[in-house]
Structure 1
Amino acid sequence: MFDPYVSIQLQRDHPLPLYQQLYLQIKNTILSGQLENGQKLPPIRGLASRLGVNTVTVVQAFRCLEREGLVIARVGKGTFVSYPAEAAQTISASPGTAVPPEFTPDVPDNWQVPVPPEAVNFATLTPDAELFPVDDFQSIINQVLNRDRGEAFGYQESQGYYPLRCSVAAYLSQRGINYDAEAIQVISGAQQGIDIIARSLIVPGDRIFTESPTYTGALASFRSRGAQIQAIPLQADGIDLEALEKQLRIHHPKLMYVMTNFQNPTGICYSPQKQAALLDICRRWNVVLIEDDSFTELSYDGRERRALKEQDEDDRVIYIKSFSKILMPGLRLAFMLAPRHLLPQLMAAKHIADISTSGLLQRAFDLYLRQGLWKTHLDYMKKCYLERYRHILESMRRSFPPGVTFQEPEGGLCIWVQGRPGLSSNRLYEACLANQAVIAPGSHFYPDNSDSSFFRLSFAALSAQDISQGIPIIARQLKMSPNPGIDPRQRYSPLL
């Protein structure tokens, strides 16, 4: 007779407590259909004895299952599966949806560093407030208030204001991404989108593949759900496919997170060949991709870049697109396209997170798109940032000492710099901060927070004058530094 508990293995050296390991393994057994609805679970004492743990461990695991609605405890009779087989098959066909009730998230204490008032801030990706289209947006908001009156301040449906979703669908179709409004989920910024995915699809112990280096906010969201991060190195034209396939032979990830155009922090763009190859690999290994797209439109070389989602023939890419990063970050406005079978889970998580994104801002941005103001502002931003991009590159070429190298990304808002071999960018960060310049050291962007000779410079918030003032400060610290060695024990959380 088949014993569904024979495969349970608890590891005392695992980062998850024993009861969480047991909870997850029994849950998977239920969702896979190995335990049928109404089937009785083993007695607590008997299972504890069999697994070599105390009874409290089993009690805690059973409570997690009960709170999630997977089992029901009947006094004097035992604990029974209370999950229909058809529901189990639906859930098991897609990533998991729950986190153990007692799970304590591992969230960084501080994502920011103090920035002195007079310091030149090369660390932030927040755009220069002088570039915000305040007058246009004020006019748009007044139009919305005159038209909609009090309705503009009510809750919208959690999926988002329907006319805005239609406008977004029309905008996407111009880029070759053809989805109707029903497939679009409005979210309060790209970070919320990543967090919603993590909350609804990741359970402790799941493995997530990411580029290395990658966006710190994504790493923090995945870690907050107890995920194990597997870093895949980047090459000049995108992720290292050989390293990816090597890891896929060892681990099967729940999700894979990528930024294919003007990647943060490196500025790398995937080549068309690498995009196609990545999709093919994920298709063969049945991997769900998260594509984070914030900067594709900020191209300075006149070339149009394609998103993975545009080529997603079998609906396996969760596509997150931020508008507020380029428009006005405080708007917290973005949207998400997800595979149809995952959308209900993500919509439910969005509702739990904040019910709905601001109705006033959704209505305003809908008009902003319909009246063509987004394109006008985007063209203006590209012109302004092209000038700053050229200026920072010129300043770096003129000021940085030999042995310091960087690639010209041809778009986006940041430049990834490599110091001399053995340089500690953590210590360089401290030296620059003491001299009124702020950089983002590379340790912030690697899953293990390891120190390196890499650091990120952003020109998002800086004028040409700021750049001319700040780059020589960094250059002096690079020249004055006695090539300090990397200290692997140091951990930093600098400004995003």
Structure 2
Amino acid sequence: MAFQYQALAQQIAQKIYSGELATGQRLSSLRQFATLQNISLNTAKSCYELLEAQGLIYVKEKSGYFVQTQQKTPNIALPDHPDFKSKSREVSNLELQIQIHEASANNRLIHLGSIQLSPNFIPIEALRRSIQRALKHCKPEDFLYNNRQGHPRLREALSAHWAEDGFYIDKDDIYISNGCMPALSVMIQSFSNEGDSIIVPTPNYNGQLQLLALLKRKIIEIPANTEGFDIERLEQVMQNSGAKVCLLTANFQNPLGFCLSNEEKEKIAQLAEKYQCYVIEDDIYAECSFDAKRPLPIKYWDRAGYVIYCSSISKSLSPSYRVGWFCLPQRLKHLHAMLILQNDSVNMPLQLGLADLIFSRAYRQHLSELRPKLMAQVEQYRQFISQAFYGVDIRLNQPHGSYALWLQLPKQIDSLAMYYYAQQHSINIVPGLIFGEDKRYNNCIRLNAGHELSQEIQDAIVLLADWVRAQLSVENVA
């Protein structure tokens, strides 16, 4: 859990970014703030010092604390999204999906494609200490072939960690996997067969679509936008399509960044039970919330065991760790033996190191420090994109967690042509074409805001903006 001063600082930071606290506005004095929040004077002082260090407030001698001038993001419209009929269909462009997926992991390119954190945000020293402690205190049997369900120590750590966030999953229901995608793969294969249809919101994370295509599953798309997806359509499809599996992200979905309300999550859990349709929940971005409190998963409202919870630390800590999990409800425990055979063993020292990181509170501390940094950085990207594309009719999402940006360009722009142009200049982006069918998002691209907005990245964004202007100019001449 974040220290109290950090949580309070994050609440004030959100008010500053949202404009609720205006530039130049005077804040309560330290004593007034301490009294209002029922905290000690030292806690109040630590809160203000953190905000000052983040460049959000400043102190004027003998006058008090004031809101620092913030570079305002112009009022950018949110992306619009087409409606369409939901029907069972194959995932198209598999070869293109694979090509773009491989390029997004190419570290020689400028990091605007794959959604990943900057190495500078990874608590390397804390990780090193945790792994060293774990190796020092491990038992001889930890070096033998291990339990494919995962080390009990890590499963205990995860269960305790989630309980602190308000939802409980027993350690015996947790299965450790080599990342989130392998967990999703095992679950999809457990609850569906080749040729079956899986319900997904669109636009949807291209990696999930690629996985479904490789597993020879069809998809039934339901319309999504930056506010969420069509719950009524979800129910209609559950009721009428015969599909028995949904693949959903409720918290900061990639690429749109929406976070469903608690009421919507509860409704989805109820629909899963009503229509006996399994919801495989990918909750990989929940811990990247800009708010001090992590949002609850759909799993929290699951009473009948139709929600399968999956996630990993790839987006909140490091993708190189390759540690994820899926959680099997009690009603599905008869699948335990089959899942143990399907689930690959995960590096045991890393499992023990992660368990130590959680139990030592270092992971919780990392999250409390990461969230305000991400919030500020994503806003910096939005500001710079707005400036770089000045004069171009763009639309851009405004996520409240994670660091995926969905940029909608004028309809004349071909995102695949833009992708190939960017590749020629060693820039990696992901074209909207592969986030759904029927070329609905061909004028959109997804950008990663997980790396610091360096001069190199700024130059790359400007280059892309200039290319868009050139394309529009040619179009106008024609």
TM tier, shorter chain? 0.7 to 0.9
| Alpha-carbon distance, 1:396 to partner | 1.2
Q: Name whichever of 367-376 and 146-155 sits farther off.
A: 146-155
**Are 2:415 and 2:445, in contact at CA under 8 Å, matched by a contact in 1?**
yes
| Alpha-carbon distance, 1:300 to partner | 1.9
Paired AA for residue 155 in structure 2: R
Paired AA for residue 374 in structure 2: Y
| Alpha-carbon distance, 1:156 to partner | 2.2
Question: 1:433-472, aligned counterparts within 5 Å?
Answer: 433-447=423-437, 452-472=442-462
**Are 1:159 and 1:347, in contact at CA under 8 Å, matched by a contact in 2?**
no
**Are 2:269 and 2:299, in contact at CA under 8 Å, matched by a contact in 1?**
no
Distance 1:280 1:180, change over 3 A: closer
Distance in 1, matches of 2:104 and 2:268, equals 39
| Alpha-carbon distance, 1:388 to partner | 1.8
Question: 1:282-431, aligned counterparts within 5 Å?
Answer: 282-302=272-292, 304-345=294-335, 348-354=338-344, 356-400=345-389, 401-431=391-421
Distance in 2, matches of 1:374 and 1:279, equals 29
Which structure features the higher share of helix residues? 2
**Which residue of 2 is the match for residue 273 of structure 1?**
263
| Alpha-carbon distance, 1:328 to partner | 1.7
Distance in 1, matches of 2:165 and 2:433, equals 35
Distance 1:194 1:298, change over 3 A: same
For structure 2, list consecutive stretches of 5 or more residues without a partner in the other structure. Answer: 1-93
**Are 1:187 and 1:193, in contact at CA under 8 Å, matched by a contact in 2?**
yes
Distance 1:118 1:207, change over 3 A: closer
| Alpha-carbon distance, 1:386 to partner | 2.6
**Which residue of 1 is the match for residue 230 of structure 2?**
240
Structure 2 SS opposite 1:113: helix
Distance in 2, matches of 1:337 and 1:117, equals 32
Structure 1, residues 130-188: CA drift from partner, whole Å, max 9, x if none?
Answer: 32222222222221222226544322211111121111111111222222211111111
Does structure 1 residue 479 correspond to structure 2 residue 469?
yes
Structure 1 SS opposite 2:308: strand
**Bigger-Rg structure (1/2):** 1
Deviation beyond 6 Å, 4+ runs, structure 1: 114-118
Distance in 1, matches of 2:440 and 2:227, equals 23
Distance in 2, matches of 1:257 and 1:483, equals 41
Structure 1 SS opposite 2:401: coil
Aligned CA RMSD, in angstroms, stands at 2.5
Q: Name whichever of 150-159 and 134-143 sits farther off.
A: 150-159
Question: 1:44-55, aligned counterparts within 5 Å?
Answer: none
Paired AA for residue 251 in structure 2: N
**Which residue of 1 is the match for residue 200 of structure 2?**
210
**Are 1:423 and 1:484, in contact at CA under 8 Å, matched by a contact in 2?**
no
Paired AA for residue 361 in structure 2: G
Distance in 2, matches of 1:210 and 1:198, equals 12
Does structure 1 residue 188 correspond to structure 2 residue 158?
no
Structure 1, residues 353-403: CA drift from partner, whole Å, max 9, x if none?
Answer: 42x211111111111111001011112222332332121011012121431
Distance in 2, matches of 1:112 and 1:119, equals 12
Count of aligned positions:
379
Higher relative contact order (Cα pairs below 8 Å, separated by 6+ residues): 2
- TM-score between the two structures when normalised by the length of structure 1: 0.71
Distance in 2, matches of 1:383 and 1:465, equals 22
**Which residue of 2 is the match for residue 20 of structure 1?**
none
Distance 1:484 1:438, change over 3 A: farther
Distance in 2, matches of 1:234 and 1:451, equals 12
Distance 1:232 1:393, change over 3 A: same
**Are 2:112 and 2:447, in contact at CA under 8 Å, matched by a contact in 1?**
yes
**Which residue of 1 is the match for residue 154 of structure 2?**
164
**Are 1:128 and 1:461, in contact at CA under 8 Å, matched by a contact in 2?**
yes
- TM-score between the two structures when normalised by the length of structure 2: 0.73
Structure 1 SS opposite 2:288: coil
Distance 1:163 1:302, change over 3 A: closer
